[in-house]
Structure 1
């Protein structure tokens, strides 16, 4: 079976930066980090007792109790996924599209990566029948599928799969003996419908799922790398945890002590952290909804976002105009929009989509403003969409896309 890695891109050079929060650092977090920075303490690979116990509390409050000896911390989710992929072995399956950093780390280890068809409205969770067929074909051609990575709230699409699809996918994976890694980085950022709590596959398959949460999703600034992993109970979970610690130790992948202190504070979810997180979710939800309306009004296609800070847009209806501008694939679309919008707009090929598809991920962080003052104003404004700098940013997106729409209409007229 042919691997579905995008051609022409290196194993870890996966393009523009991810969807950062873009908001000022919470004062309480900055104070905790500053105090911890006064010492020269070091964190062990896999995290010290304090951060692991804080992670236990975080997961227990979400219905996923775990012991501290089944938790590992690392400087970002990529380090954990790299360690898990190395520890588990075999071929890796991921949705199409998926987070930009999932496949590159498997390729870095020389592991085959296979993208599985995923419903457009259910990004992050593959279609169970497509999963079964993909596994069957891999094995028929001598492959060894071992690991399925999925997400309950998705980057890049911003969608959230319904519980029934997640159930069906998890059952299909278990039937084929796959180990699941559930990326739950964005589970606390669901804004539509308000109050939605995504289901975790660890609730369905407690003995076959490792949960990975990058704290930059909702609790820490993106530039403070810290992530935690929850391993299943039992002997198999203990062995996997030990192997992951071996890999993290070999890599020297420990969380910087000041960042670990901030992570411990954030994982305990005191009022300043939960209040800021709730405010940020409402803000990014408001911006994502407005961005979606702008993109759709200009003639592009996009599923309504429900979580995170992303919008995944399909510009196929504007292909005639884009062709006239020399844009024929996702890389050219990325270059075209990045230059005109003035901020990164990674093409769909970064997320495992076909290079020829005219898809792109846009982020709400680009609408917050260029200065710290403008971004801080977004946090306190009762109507952030009425702020002049937010209006200008949305108008810029609208102008770029409407110009393409006008061009497309001209090209469609008989000559």
Structure 2
């Protein structure tokens, strides 16, 4: 039987738009092409490079789940965020995907995710043969499903013989760059608890809030300590993407202890260990020394400014987008420009991806990569490519008091505005007279 999403987004029988999307002209199929996390575009912090270089002679294997020094650093990191955990409830892995794969395998059952969601969540469940069900998000933000749509989806899946056990969500979201309001998150967590689901909270972007004094970020683990596992990929704010490392914090109680042990078993079977030098670098950044925190704050400020300018260009060009609140990206809906895009042969998200990537000279993954409908004209823009084409230009952005006034940044933003403005003007010319 074909299961349907109560949020009005089509099939939820474990097949999303991402799976059914045609491959692009470069041969990027739905499995082989997963948009990477938006990179900060900047050279490695020199102090951090020195830490890695100092550990380069370390040839011993890092224990599965992380050694004592790394786990102590992870515990301190969570403690400073109001999420205390003993070392026996923390694990590290070579990137968040490895940890999510192990968690999904350990928990079993069907998986629920919001629509849209991070591009890397669903493929790992499908790799294990687990159905994935996308649930609509509310208008206010992405990352967390609407509680009523969640309950309806769980009911329908169970009525059709499914076994939903896991909900993956994100309070600071990729792809939408929004932060779920605490009141909405509370309702979603309550609904998930009532439905008997375990929650995995992806908090990769929690340290990249654009306005930290004005944005309230609450972890589901603060609301539900015994039902939530928190995962954070350090590529979000602390490490270069090419040094894969992530940490997970497991729930309190016997259930959390058993889950932690099972995840370590699976990581062992996968051989999913951090490289020794990377483990040293990960422990260093998790301790948050002043050079690391100063660099992180500077990078967040830079990308917040560029994201706000890109958002203004997108909205002025006639597209729709929520104001970005976190991360290094924004999510745009070009549905108001459908008629103009149709003249260029663009009728779905894959064609939109190809069109914008070619026109802008930068990756512009379509919404179908994130579980959104293939027919919807949605796209994620990253801010990293707007900082320039060389390390020198990108460093200049970081050190400039007015990065938006730099010529190479202005040219990049002008290119984005020009493409969208042309589409807007075409759409307006073709509007029927009222």
Query: In structure 1, which of residues 219, 224, 233 is the aligned counterpart of residue 252 of structure 2?
Result: 233
Distance 1:193 1:261 in 2: 28
Match of 1:169 among 188, 191, 200: 188
Give the superposition deviation at 1:14: 4.0
Partner of 2:272: 253
Partners in 1 of 2:212 and 2:427 — Cα distance?
35
Partner of 1:399: 418
Can you list the C-alpha shifts for 1:45-102, whole angstroms capped at 9, x where unaligned?
2111111110000000111000101111011100000000000000000001000000
Partners of 2:35 and 2:119 within 8 A in 1: no
2:198 matches 1:179: yes
Q: What's the counterpart of residue 20 of structure 2?
A: 8
What are structure 2's unaligned runs of at least 5 residues? Answer: 4-11, 22-28
Matched, 1:381 2:400: yes
Provide the rounded CA distance (Å) in 2 between the counterparts of 1:73 and 1:185: 14
1:12–1:101 Cα contact (<8 Å) kept = no
SS of the equivalent of 1:73 reads strand
Instruction: Map residues 352-367 of structure 1 onto 2, 5 A cutoff.
Output: 352-367=371-386
Number of residue pairs aligned between Structure 1 and Structure 2: 414
TM-score (normalizing by structure 2) = 0.93
Distance 2:349 2:270 in 1: 34
Given the alignment, which residue of 121, 130, 135 partners 2:140? 121
* Aligned position for 1:309: 328
SS at match of 2:174: coil
Which piece of structure 1 moves more, 128-137 or 118-127? 118-127
The structural deviation recorded for 1:211 is 0.2
Task: Map residues 327-366 of structure 1 onto 2, 5 A cutoff.
Answer: 327-366=346-385
- For residues 331-378 of structure 1, the C-alpha deviation after alignment (integer angstroms, 9 at most, x for no partner) is 000000001111110000011110000000001101111100001111
SS at 1:344's partner residue?
A: coil
Correspondence 1:25 to 2:44:
yes
TM-aligned CA deviation for residue 411 of structure 1:
2.6
- Partner Cα distance (1:235, 1:296) in 2: 49
Shift of 1:12: 3.5
C-alpha distance 252-11 of structure 1, shift in aligned 2 (>3 A): farther
CA RMSD of the aligned region, Å? 1.3
TM-score with structure 1 setting the length: 0.97
Contact 2:182-2:216 within 8 A present in 1 as well? no
Is the contact between residue 34 and residue 120 of structure 2 (CA under 8 Å) also seen in structure 1? no
CA distance in 1, matches of 2:120, 2:35: 11
Deviation (angstroms), 1:197: 4.6
Is the partner of 2:225 in helix, strand or coil? coil
Aligned counterpart, 2:342: 323
User: Which deviates the most, 26-35 or 14-23?
Assistant: 14-23
Unaligned runs of 5+ in 1: none
- Match for residue 390 of structure 2 among 349, 371, 375: 371
Aligned partners of 1:19 and 1:363 also within 8 Å: yes
Residue of structure 1 equivalent to 2:67: 48
Are 2:127 and 1:108 equivalent residues in the alignment?
yes
**Residue pair 1:190, 1:306 contacting (<8 A) in 2 also:** yes
Taking the aligned partners of 1:11 and 1:396, their CA distance within structure 2 comes to 28
Residue 131 of structure 1: aligned partner: 150
Alignment partners' CA distance in 2, 1:133 and 1:205: 22
Which residues of 2 match residues 81-230 of structure 1 at below 5 A?
81-192=100-211, 194=213, 196-230=215-249
In structure 2, the partner of 1:277 is: 296
SS of aligned partner of 1:216? helix
Q: Does the CA contact (< 8 Å) of 1:11 and 1:107 recur in 2? A: no
User: How far 1:219 moved relative to its partner?
Assistant: 0.7
